[in-house]
Amino acid sequence: MSDIRNYNVAERLRDQRTVTIRAIRTDDKGLIVEALNKVSAESIYRRFLTTKKEVTPQGLKLATEVDFVNVVALVAVMEKEGTVEITGGGRYIRAGSTQGRERAEIAFFVGDAFHGLGIASRLLKHLVAIARDSGIAEFEAEVLPSNDAMFKVFARSGLPLTRTATRDTVHVVMELTRDGRAESRSHGC
């Protein structure tokens, strides 16, 4: 895959609007703050497992200054009346290997006004392609049991997945195989 730092692809959403999926940039800090200021406490909790909405300068640096090797972050942006707005984002962080298989933790965020348009699904599709090219074999995610929307995104991906209930979350493991749809397996949920 070419330089991930320059990743930029246009996608059509369910409502026929166009969204650009691109690599996060260091100058996106202001757009990140604006996006977070427009979301509900529930959305913040579903993504970050906390209700804290304030972002520290260090948090913004971690969010926007990634190496695109161990951490890959994409944002979904839309333009409206000449203004660019981040509508969502997704990232993975390499988490080591298990039995010789590279794995990464994955997480998504979609602004309240953009739920149900397919943004997370499109972000996942692009992150899977990048991860496969980078030698990652599995994605892992911690999802709140009530986050049905995220479970639907994972299920629609066609990736083989396993769900395991933990104390407060559901641990999801997705196989980044190339052989298309496979049956999902569920353990304890």
pLDDT digits over 93-152, tens only?
Answer: 999 888 888 999 999 989 989 999 999 999 999 999 999 999 999 999 999 898 999 999
Report the C-alpha gap between 18 and 14 in whole angstroms: 9
- Which helix H or strand E contains 73, and what residues bound it? strand 71-80
pLDDT(170) > 70:
yes
22 has which bridge partners? Answer: 8, 75
Q: List the chain domain ranges.
A: 4-187
Residue 92 has pLDDT above 70, yes or no: yes
CA 133 to chain centre: 17
Contact criterion met (CB below 8 Å) for 89 and 109: yes
H helices within 26-174, ranges in order?
29-37, 41-48, 57-64, 119-133, 148-156
Residue type for position 13: L
Fold of the domain spanning 4-187: Aminopeptidase (3.40.630)
The percent of residues in the chain predicted with pLDDT above 90, rounded, is 65
